[in-house]
Structures are given as structure tokens and as C-alpha cells.
């Protein structure tokens, strides 16, 4: 049976401008796969997938990515319930958007914005994730020995050290962050907290209980307020509302079917009036044609009248110009038009150039006058014909309109006795449809109110269950001594190395400060390939023992490049995968391991969920 607490990775989606990049960690039964292997050559995006999972879980930086990727969404199970965690890509975001639901699932609730910092804030992403690992409210000290040392809240980022073995931690002599004393101190405390052997366990449990009690009181108050509101509205029970919703939907479907049948009967009952409808159609076309012809002639008459007035004015001006020649003498030039030399009045020739000087006579407009008069006469004749035709067309249009009205009346009179009963039935169906729609809306609103109230009640129950678990945990016998846990870690570490045929595995152990030793020397003295196997065995020992003892580990583990510096010995890596498969199928049932490996052995082929190549990487279209 799967444990209900903890975190499992289900799907990862990167949102680009033109498409989405998906990685699916689920098995055939829609549950997270125990072992998921991401295979592919160097530089094809394997590590990027793990880093984006880490980014959605609160890492401060996302991996270098193509510019068109704008957001990342991780579908996870939090204590068995699917949730979506989304963060923006580009400038590292300071918020994550969280909501219950699955990718591609319609009807998801509005996301809740949760800040990444401060990690100890009640509404932070870290607090949400830690609450599903039974670690919300835990604090870490900045010194191990001092009882009054300053404490900081545990962050889920600290817990990720036990969930993500990155490539750079495999062989660089910094597995336990020895180069950063404060991180090393935190890591040791995190392991103590996960195994419930830290010195302040009872204090921490009390603090967590008080925090959860305050949250539960607030939830109960919100539930009481919501229940009072719903009670005041007096909705029916959930079963009654569900029955009402089904009945309303059935009534709407029946109304639609009856309306269609009624229309078919009405068309059949009025089929005898087909000849009358045809006559009405023809009369309508004739009426529209007569009205259009009348409008055309009236429009032409208006335009021709304006044009006739213009030509009449032109004729009057030309006649006036012709008559001016008889009223005024011709003008004589006082300057020679050829050389511009002044000449005497009445001179017939220029004294300078001997050019002939003719008196200026009136212009000849007789030709234009005749043309204007001819066009005016044509317009007058055409306008008179239009004025004679328009009254006749007006009478014809009125007669056609009357004929169309009579034909329409004949159709109405012939079909009224057949259509009237159907109109009454249609009105009755419309009233039924409106009543059913109102009933359906009332049922939907009532179910939504009851659903919201149930969610609040479930939240109170979940908090009560967590409180009961914490109180039972506080009332139990004192936790196992830290030395015993260290001994168990050393034993599991030694057993894993033996299973891998690691040289000198028989005397391997884990020291008090959690440093792994082989052959009497710390792991830092081993070769690079040996350090890789030691780091894997140490991380797996912590993960496996925490899972088997039902400690507060999230329940998933990300491993990056487990073959780093191992050379071409396929036997060793095959044993690593064999160990993972055996443990996940046995004591580790319900846990989850995700591995990014450039060339997994054949015995891991069934667990490969995606395989990249140089020609096909994670971000190829």
C-alpha cells in the first residue's frame, strides 16, 4: 500500500511560445513510476529536466534555456493529491503559483501565489511542501552545541540535499559541503530532523503543534462562517440537488426534442398552402421590381432637372455674349502685338516692324451656342418623357404592393387554423425550457456552495489528522539515539557497496559527522570513479533507511549522471540499476527514483521514459 505523505513527481511541462515540451514520469496506472530513467548523450537536456523539477520545487535559479520558453509547470502528488506548481522562466521568479489539479485537466481551481522567501512564512512554497513531509515549523540552529543558539526555519531547499544528488557532488570531495561549514552544519541537522533524532525534537513538535492549532482554529472559524451563510440560504441536500440537476438536464433535452418535433408537424400541417405561398412569393418579387423601377425613374428625373437648369444658364450666357458685339465697338490695339512698340490710335501698321494691326472683334460663340441649345432640347424632351412615365409607374407599384398584401393575407387566412395550435404549444415549451434552465442554475449554484463548504470541512479534518499524528508522535517513547541511526546508515552504506562488489566494502562505515569511509580512509582519499560510487551509496543509504523507517523524507530521489568517471565497465552500473529495481520492488515500494544517465545498461531499458540523441535533444521541434 502506498504511503499517503510525501511528494511524487508526475509530469513536467515547459511552456514555449509555439509549443510545449513534456516529460511524463507516470506509469500505465497513472501513478508515478518507481524508477524513471532519462537517457541520452551529453548536452541533450537530461540534466536540464532534473534542474527544472528542482526549480519548480523552489530553486532560486533555473537552468540555461532557450529564450522562447516562458514558464515551467510541475505536476506533483502532495500526500497523494495531484497539484500543479508553475514558475516563470527568464528572470528567476520570486513566486510560485500552486493549485490542485492535473495538467490538461479542465475546471482547475484558481492558482494560489506562494512566495519563495522567506521560507518560514506560512504561505510560502517551502511551508506547503514541508507540511506534506511532516516537517512544517521545524527550525535549525546556527550552532550545534549552544542551547541558546539562534534558530532559522527549515527550508525545503535544505531538504532537497537529500532528494537531489547533482552531478557536481559525485566526485569533487564536497559531498557533505565540507567547503561550506554552514551548509555542512545544516545538512547534518537536516538528516537528524528527518530521522527524528535532533536534540530539540520535543520542542519542535510542540512548536509545530501550536502552529497547526492556530491554523486549524482559523480554518474552523472560516468553516463556521461559510456554514452559517449556506444554512441561511437553505439549499437542499447534495443528493436532492444532484437529482434536481439531472431532472433539469433531462427536461431541457426533452424540450429540445419536442420543439424539433413540433416544427416538423407544423411544416407538414401547412404544406397544403404551397400554391398560395408561391403566389405570394411572385407577387412580392413583382412589387419589389415595380418599386425599384419607380425609384430609378424618379432619381433620373431629379438629376436631369438639375442638368437642364445648368444648360439653360449656359445658353443664356452665350446669347448675352453674342449680343454684346452689337452694343460695343471693337477694341483697337495701342501696342504692336509683334514687337510691343506703342502705335498711334487708328494705325493699321506698326511703324517699327511694319506688322499689320487688326482691331479686336468679338469672339465667335455661335458654334457653342448651337451645341448648348441642342443638348438643352434633348434634355427637355427626355425629362418630359420621364415626367409622363412616372405617374404610370407609381400606379403600377401601388397595385403590385396591394397584390402582394392580398397574397400574404390569403396565406395567413389559409394557414391560421393549422398554425395557431402549434404556436400555443411552442409557447408552452418555451416556458418549460425557461423553468428547467432556472432549476438547473439553482441546482448548480447549490452544489457549488456545498462543494466549497465540504472543502473547508476537509481542510479542518486534514489539520486534525495532522495534529493527532504530531501529538501521538510527541507522546511516543523517545526516539532512537543518533548513534543508532548513524550505525544503521553505516550498515546500509556497507551493504550497498558489497552488492556492487566495491573493493574494501567490508570495512566501510559512516562516521559520527556523516562522512563515508572505505578502507579506513574518508571518501575524499578515493579515486574519482570510486568517489562516484561512494556518493551514490551514501545518498541511497540515507534515502532507503529514511523510507523504510517511515521518517520525514519526501519520498523521491533525483540522481544525475551515476556513471560519472566510471569508465567503460558496464558491470558496475548494471549492478547499480539492479539494486534500484530490487529495492523499489521490495522495501522501497511507493518511493520514486529518477535517474539522468547518458548510457543506461540493458537491464534498465524497461525503465527508460525518454531517450535523446545528438540528432534529437529535449528541445528539438
Could you read off the pLDDT of 449-468 as tens digits, one per residue? 777 778 888 888 888 888 88
Q: How far apart are CA 402 and CA 396, in angstroms?
A: 10
- pLDDT of the residue at 113: 92
- Candidates 1.10.3470, 3.30.565, 2.70.40, 1.10.287; correct CATH number of 272-451? 1.10.287
CATH class of the domain comprising 7-197+479-611 = alpha beta
Helix (H, G, I), strand (E, B) or coil at 26: strand
Q: Which letter, b or e, does each residue of 519-543 get, where b requires 16 or more Cβ atoms within 10 Å of its Cβ?
A: eeebbeebeebbbbbbbbbbbbbbb
What is the CB-side half-sphere exposure of residue 172 using CA atoms within 13 A? 10
**Highest mean pLDDT pick, 357-361, 399-403, 411-415, 450-454:** 399-403
**Highest mean pLDDT pick, 3-17, 33-47, 404-418:** 33-47
Q: How far apart are CA 23 and CA 42, in angstroms?
A: 18
- Range 222-250 average pLDDT: 80
- Is the pLDDT score of 145 beyond 60? no
- Look at 382 and 238; give whichever has higher pLDDT: 382
- Is the pLDDT score of 257 beyond 60? yes
Question: Which band of pLDDT confidence, cut at 50, 70 and 90, is reported for residue 420?
Answer: low
- Is the pLDDT score of 2 beyond 50? no
Contact 498, 526 (CB under 8 A): no
Using CB atoms within 10 Å of the CB of residue 517, give its burial: 0 to 12 exposed, 13 to 18 middle, 19+ buried. buried
What is the CB-side half-sphere exposure of residue 294 using CA atoms within 13 A? 18
Contact 557, 194 (CB under 8 A): no
- pLDDT of the residue at 349: 80
- Listed by start position, the domains of the chain span 7-197+479-611, 272-451
Question: Which band of pLDDT confidence, cut at 50, 70 and 90, is reported for residue 4?
Answer: low
Q: How far apart are CA 581 and CA 550, in angstroms?
A: 20
Q: How far apart are CA 502 and CA 535, in angstroms?
A: 13
Using CB atoms within 10 Å of the CB of residue 377, give its burial: 0 to 12 exposed, 13 to 18 middle, 19+ buried. exposed
Q: What are phi and psi of 420, to 5 degrees?
A: -55, -45
Cα-to-chain-centroid distance, residue 229? 33
Considering just the CA atoms, what is the radius of gyration of the chain in Å? 48
- pLDDT of the residue at 479: 45
- Look at 118 and 241; give whichever has higher pLDDT: 118
Q: How far apart are CA 141 and CA 189, in angstroms?
A: 8
- pLDDT of the residue at 314: 86
What is the CB-side half-sphere exposure of residue 461 using CA atoms within 13 A? 6
Peptide bond between residue 12 and the one before it cis (omega within 30 degrees of 0): no
CA angle 505, 508, 514 (to 5 degrees): 145
Instruction: Give the residue from 581, 618, 610, 576 showing the smallest Cα distance to 38.
Output: 610
What is the average pLDDT score of the chain? 84
Q: How far apart are CA 598 and CA 588, in angstroms?
A: 25
Q: How far apart are CA 514 and CA 177, in angstroms?
A: 11
- Is the pLDDT score of 480 beyond 60? no
- pLDDT of the residue at 456: 82
Instruction: Give the residue from 552, 569, 453 showing the smallest Cα distance to 500.
Output: 569
Q: What are phi and psi of 231, to 5 degrees?
A: -65, -35
Q: Strand ranges (DSSP E) for 228-303?
A: none
pTM of the model: 0.59
Q: What are phi and psi of 331, to 5 degrees?
A: -80, 140
| Residue 448: other Cβ atoms inside 10 A | 12
CA angle 229, 231, 235 (to 5 degrees): 110
- pLDDT of the residue at 415: 62
pLDDT digits (tens, 9 = 90+) for 554-580: 999 999 999 988 877 788 999 999 999
Contact 51, 149 (CB under 8 A): no
Q: Check the CA dihedral 148-153-157-163 and report its sign.
A: positive
- Range 244-259 average pLDDT: 88
**Residue that is written with C-alpha cell 551509496 in the block:** 537
Q: Are strands 592-597 and 608-611 parallel, antiparallel or unpaired?
A: unpaired
Least confident of 269-278, 509-518, 576-585: 269-278
- pLDDT of the residue at 78: 93
Q: What are phi and psi of 125, to 5 degrees?
A: -65, -40
What is the CB-side half-sphere exposure of residue 525 using CA atoms within 13 A? 8
- Look at 52 and 218; give whichever has higher pLDDT: 52
Contact 94, 72 (CB under 8 A): no
For 614-620, the CB contacts below 8 A with 24+ separation are 614/41, 614/44, 616/44, 617/40, 617/43, 617/44, 617/45, 618/21, 618/23, 618/40, 618/44, 618/45, 618/46, 618/48, 618/49, 619/21, 619/45, 619/65, 619/66
- Look at 39 and 477; give whichever has higher pLDDT: 39
- Is the pLDDT score of 583 beyond 60? yes
Task: Report which secondary-structure segment, H or E, holds 11.
Answer: strand 7-16
Amino acid at each position: 500500500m502506498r504511503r499517503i505523505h510525501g511528494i511524487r513527481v508526475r509530469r513536467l511541462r515547459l511552456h514555449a511560445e509555439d509549443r510545449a515540451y513534456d516529460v511524463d514520469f507516470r506509469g500505465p496506472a497513472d501513478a508515478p513510476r518507481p524508477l524513471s530513467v532519462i537517457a541520452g548523450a551529453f548536452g541533450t537536456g537530461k540534466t536540464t529536466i532534473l534542474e527544472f523539477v528542482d526549480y519548480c520545487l523552489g530553486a532560486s535559479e533555473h537552468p540555461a534555456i532557450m529564450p522562447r520558453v516562458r514558464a515551467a509547470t510541475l505536476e506533483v502528488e502532495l500526500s497523494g493529491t495531484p497539484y500543479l506548481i508553475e514558475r516563470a522562466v527568464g528572470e528567476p521568479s520570486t513566486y510560485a503559483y500552486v493549485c490542485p489539479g492535473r495538467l490538461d485537466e479542465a475546471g482547475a481551481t484558481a492558482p494560489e501565489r506562494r512566495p519563495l522567501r522567506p521560507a518560514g512564512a506560512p504561505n510560502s512554497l517551502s511551508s506547503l511542501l514541508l507540511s506534506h513531509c511532516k516537517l512544517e515549523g521545524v527550525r535549525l540552529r546556527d550552532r550545534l552545541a549552544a542551547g541558546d543558539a539562534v534558530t532559522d526555519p527549515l527550508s525545503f531547499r535544505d531538504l532537497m540535499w537529500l532528494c537531489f544528488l547533482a552531478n557536481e557532488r559525485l566526485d569533487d570531495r564536497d559531498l557533505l559541503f565540507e567547503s561550506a561549514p554552514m551548509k555542512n552544519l545544516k545538512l547534518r541537522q537536516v538528516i537528524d530532523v528527518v530521522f527524528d533524532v535532533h536534540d530539540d525534537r520535543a520542542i519542535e513538535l510542540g512548536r509545530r503543534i501550536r502552529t497547526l492549532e492556530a491554523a486549524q482554529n482559523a480554518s474552523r472559524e472560516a468553516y463556521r462562517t461559510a456554514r452559517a451563510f449556506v444554512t441561511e440560504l437553505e439549499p437542499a441536500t447534495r443528493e436532492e440537488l444532484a437529482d434536481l440537476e439531472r431532472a433539469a438536464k433531462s427536461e431541457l433535452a426533452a424540450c429540445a426534442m419536442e420543439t424539433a418535433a413540433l416544427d416538423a408537424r407544423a411544416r407538414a400541417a401547412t404544406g397544403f398552402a404551397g400554391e398560395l405561398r408561391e403566389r405570394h412569393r411572385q407577387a412580392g418579387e413583382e412589387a419589389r421590381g415595380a418599386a425599384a423601377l419607380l425609384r430609378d425613374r424618379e432619381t433620373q428625373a431629379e438629376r436631369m432637372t438639375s442638368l437642364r437648369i445648368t444648360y439653360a444658364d449656359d445658353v443664356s450666357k452665350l446669347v448675352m455674349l453674342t449680343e454684346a458685339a452689337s452694343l460695343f465697338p471693337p477694341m483697337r490695339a495701342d501696342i504692336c502685338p509683334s514687337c510691343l512698340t506703342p502705335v498711334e490710335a487708328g494705325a493699321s501698321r506698326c511703324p517699327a516692324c511694319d506688322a499689320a494691326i487688326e482691331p479686336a472683334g468679338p469672339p465667335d460663340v455661335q458654334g457653342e451656342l448651337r451645341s448648348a441649345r441642342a443638348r438643352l432640347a434633348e434634355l427637355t424632351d427626355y425629362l418630359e418623357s420621364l415626367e409622363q412615365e412616372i405617374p404610370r409607374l407609381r400606379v403600377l407599384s401601388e397595385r403590385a404592393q396591394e397584390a402582394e398584401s392580398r397574397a400574404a393575407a390569403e396565406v395567413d387566412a389559409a394557414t391560421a387554423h393549422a398554425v395557431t395550435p402549434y404556436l400555443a404549444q411552442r409557447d408552452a415549451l418555451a416556458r418549460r425550457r425557461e423553468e428547467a434552465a432556472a432549476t438547473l442554475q439553482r441546482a448548480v449554484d447549490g452544489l457549488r456552495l456545498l462543494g466549497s463548504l465540504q472543502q473547508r470541512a476537509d481542510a479542518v479534518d486534514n489539520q486534525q489528522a495532522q495534529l493527532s499524528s504530531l501529538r501521538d508522535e510527541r507522546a511516543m517513547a523517545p526516539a532512537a539515539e543518533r548513534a543508532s541511526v548513524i550505525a544503521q546508515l553505516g550498515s546500509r552504506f556497507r551493504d550497498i557497496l558489497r552488492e556492487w562488489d566495491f573493493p574494501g566494502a567490508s570495512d566501510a562505515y559512516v562516521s559520527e559527522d556523516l562522512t563515508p569511509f572505505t578502507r579506513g580512509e574518508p571518501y575524499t582519499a578515493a579515486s574519482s570513479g570510486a568517489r562516484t560510487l561512494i556518493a551514490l551509496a551514501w545518498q541511497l543509504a540515507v534515502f532507503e533507511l529514511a523510507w523504510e523507517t517511515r521518517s520525514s523524507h519526501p519520498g523521491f530521489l533525483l540522481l544525475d549522471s551515476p556513471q560519472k568517471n566510471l569508465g567503460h565497465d558496464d558491470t558496475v552500473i548494471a549492478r547499480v540499476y539492479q539494486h534500484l529495481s530490487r529495492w523499489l520492488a521490495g522495501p522501497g515500494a511507493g518511493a520514486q527514483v529518477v535517474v539522468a544517465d547518458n548510457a543506461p545498461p540493458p537491464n534498465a531499458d524497461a525503465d527508460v521514459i525518454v531517450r535523446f540523441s545528438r540528432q534529437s535533444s529535449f528541445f528539438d521541434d
